[in-house]
Amino acid sequence: MDAIIDLIPPKVAAYIPGLDTSAYVYATGADLINFDKRSFWISVASIVFNPLYWNILARHEYREKTLQKIFGGSLGATYFFFVTIFSLGILRDYLYERAIAEQPHWELLTHPGFKALALALFGLGQLFVVTSIYALGLTGTYLGDYCGILMSHRVTSFPFNVLEDPMYVGSTMAFLGTAIWCESAAGLAISALVWIIYAIALKYEGPFTGMIYEKAAEVKAEAKRDAEEAKESKTSAPAPSTPPRKSERLAEAATTATASTAAPAATANGAATPRRRAAGRKSAIANETLAASPMRVTRSRSKARSDAEGSE
């Protein structure tokens, strides 16, 4: 029976009727936190390690794309982050509960009002975490944007319309609610550390994530400008001019006529050109025609007749 009681968290054991809680150790002052317990420091180490793990590895993946090469793409790398981060979260929660189970109890936190506050904090915190995962989806929650899977628009639905970082706030509320329910001052200290670690992580995660989306927007805008410029240059380029066939024929005729009229009169050795030879033949033909024409004959006969008549 004692072994079973040891496995039951104090937050449950305190409300089980007839259950003996006399083994619980209540402390005050500096004894509220036992720093000698190794489980306390293991819990602290896991809480510090988890954000360091996903921030360092995710930035490396964004620059080098190592996981994408190993797992065959962005989706495979994102699923790797999902499995490892989720598993580390489960381990962290287990180590946290084991740590506060070995710590002294704070009698002040046994008041029913604190129990109600613990329930409200834990329930609301888990609501923020679960609804954030639902709104972002698996790739949006587990660093898909670092692997090249970007969200098409900013999520503004619940709980992002209530809180800027609902997952971190909700997780811290769950840690705090558990610490109050378990009546653990050590749990309160660890919860404060959780919020400090998350606040530091946000200082680096927020600007880096914003840079990823700004670069993606710049690349998209540049590609759009290039496409528009290519389209404009294609539509504004003049079509090659083709002269009409009729104009070509007229130009060729004019060239031929110019060449025929501009031929030289004689060659270098003084020989007559074809044109001069043609002109000579034309002149000879004209003389022959004139000599043999009837008019020439008649005129010769008339002249001969006159001579004869004169001699008579």
Locus of tokens 């006399």: 22
Neighbours of 252 (CB within 10 A): 10
Query: CA-CA distance, 187 to 193, in Å (whole number)?
Result: 10
Residues at the binding site are 123-125, 205-206
| Residues with Cβ within 8 Å of residue 8, at least 6 apart in sequence | 16, 19
| Residues with Cβ within 8 Å of residue 39, at least 6 apart in sequence | 95, 98, 99, 102
Residue 223 identity (one-letter amino acid): A
The 3-state DSSP composition of the chain as helix, strand, coil percent (nearest 5) reads 75, 0, 25
Residues at the binding site for S-adenosyl-L-methionine are 123-125, 205-206
Widest CA span in the chain? 193
| Residues with Cβ within 8 Å of residue 9, at least 6 apart in sequence | 97, 101, 182
* CA angle (87 as vertex; 86, 88 as ends), nearest 5: 90
| Residues with Cβ within 8 Å of residue 235, at least 6 apart in sequence | none
Containing H/E element for 233? helix 185-236
